[in-house]
A and B are shown apart, each in its own frame.
Chain A
């Protein structure tokens, strides 16, 4: 548009004197992306700098400034700095020092350095690959289908259709499924898998875990049973509550996201609510959780306690990370063992030392061990058994 024409139109607009044709002309002009530079040039040409002698209105503008400053702060935690009440910590200062060294190790890894010392009979942890998307699906007739990360297939059983796409399995809802049958999805050590149940509920299964579920939810309640660890995003259906059974404990759900960790070798069953609402029931005990809370059912004492949890840390496995915050060595090594499918021998460890840090689960075992060796822990791998010892 001619500059003089634009000046004229804008001046007319200012006086609310535009004809309908002129309104249309201006609309067409501003609707064209290429009008941007002409518009900006013209307007900055005439905009003065003496107009700003008004007081700064903090009530209006401070929130705007702060929004801008906060806009690039939203991120998953990378490191785990000191948080929660330090009273519970045995050696908060030691942990803080550890975090820094863990960070350094994490960083310097890219530069590529030594694998761990190997002597005769030892294997290199650099060759121990991380877990993958693998699982076994057991159909109602007992037959099994092997699922791996590269697979794409459709499994038909009766009227139920199941699609596998890489690391995920999806059930297609069929309201007239007829007889209800049960499937079992079993994830081995060194594996993980995702399944979308017929009601749309998504379940992520961690290594050494399994889930039993019907191929159609026709009962009053949607009941599934889990072993190991899973993260649930339950499709909302208030008229048909979702129930997760875990070693005799029950988690009752309306529509929500939560994590259940119930490995037999762990001390407790931990139910962590990310959002929504769940009720944890065991025997006569029942506790309602609020988002961010974790219910801990102690396997030995059968006490049910509630505490605040770091949900990002609890579900780090689902997003592809190990995340440790003030954890002892055996807790960490149990997670490592399940994911890398190794046996861990902790007989030569004597340490109250605790560790923190975050590292990708996609790296070979050696990277994780290097991170821990900074904290005075040494490792030797023989076959698939890892001997762990602490220096002093």
Chain B
């Protein structure tokens, strides 16, 4: 936690041409995006394992404290997860993921700037164990999601429960409830949209999906 925020910004020297030349280096198979979009946790994990080292470097060059980087990317992961139904539609998933991370980076810097603490050392009164420090914003986000889920209409909540807690795929849910597959998919999409709405209403930045 001894990191200082002065010298936070370290410009990346990479040029746009280099960016274009290397853009296919880090490849996210569309199949993973499709599966993650359906709530497949393993596929989501695969994608994140692929992109996290990159996001870590990008964020780390701006915010040099590893704790702050983790805090920012924790929020980034949650943003991506509650937008999972949009992943298969993304034409360029990687730039979109970077933008989500950079938006969370801005949020972090913005909060410090608002309290005029941008050039002050990071607080040392926070607990030293690294995995405790990022819990504050995480807990807040978790609480917003928890409350939002409780406010879902009963049927939609049940479908969401079967999907998330019981790990059922949407055809299985449709089967169990004797509903059409499309109906279940719509219910899950609507539930996610509601969660996003609640996060946004609570001041959590939500990036739009088009890019």
Chain A residues close to B by CB (< 8 Å): 7, 10-11, 13-16, 18, 23, 26-31, 33, 35-36, 39-40, 43-57, 60-61, 63-65, 67-69, 71-79, 81, 100, 103-104, 106-108, 110, 360
Contact = CB atoms under 8 A, between A and B. Distances in A.
Contacts, number: 195
Contact of B54 (A13, A51, A72): A51
Contacts of A78: 154, 157-158, 161
Interface residues of B, number: 80
Given A27-B116, A73-B165, A44 B99 contact: yes
B125 interface: no
A58 to B, nearest CB: 8
**Top 10 closest pairs, chain A to chain B, by CB:** A52-B54, A48-B14, A68-B77, A30-B113, A51-B57, A31-B113, A13-B9, A78-B161, A54-B53, A52-B53
Contact of A27 (B56, B62, B74, B118): B118
Contact of B26 (A49, A67, A108, A360): A49
Contact of B82 (A39, A63, A72): A72
B6 A13 contact: yes
B116 A76 contact: no
A392 B19 CA distance: 73
A16 B6 contact: yes
B52 interface: yes
Interface in B68-112: 70, 73-74, 77-78, 80-82, 94-95, 98-99, 102-103, 105-106, 109-110, 112
Contact of A10 (B6, B11, B205): B11
Contacts of A13: 6-9
B62 A43 contact: yes
B118 to A, nearest CB: 5
Contacts of B178: 104, 107-108
Given A18-B119, A43-B102, 11 more contacts: A7-B11, A26-B118, A35-B110, A52-B26, A54-B53, A54-B57, A68-B77, A71-B138, A72-B149, A74-B142, A78-B158
A65 B57 contact: no
Nearest to B161: A78
A69 B48 CA distance: 11
* Secondary structure type dominating chain B contacts: helix
Contacts of A7: 11
A20 to B, nearest CB: 9
29 contacts: A14-B9, A15-B7, A16-B6, A28-B113, A30-B109, A30-B110, A36-B103, A39-B102, A39-B109, A40-B99, A43-B102, A49-B22, A49-B25, A50-B18, A52-B57, A61-B56, A64-B73, A64-B77, A67-B138, A69-B41, A69-B45, A73-B165, A74-B149, A75-B157, A78-B154, A78-B157, A107-B155, A107-B179, A108-B178
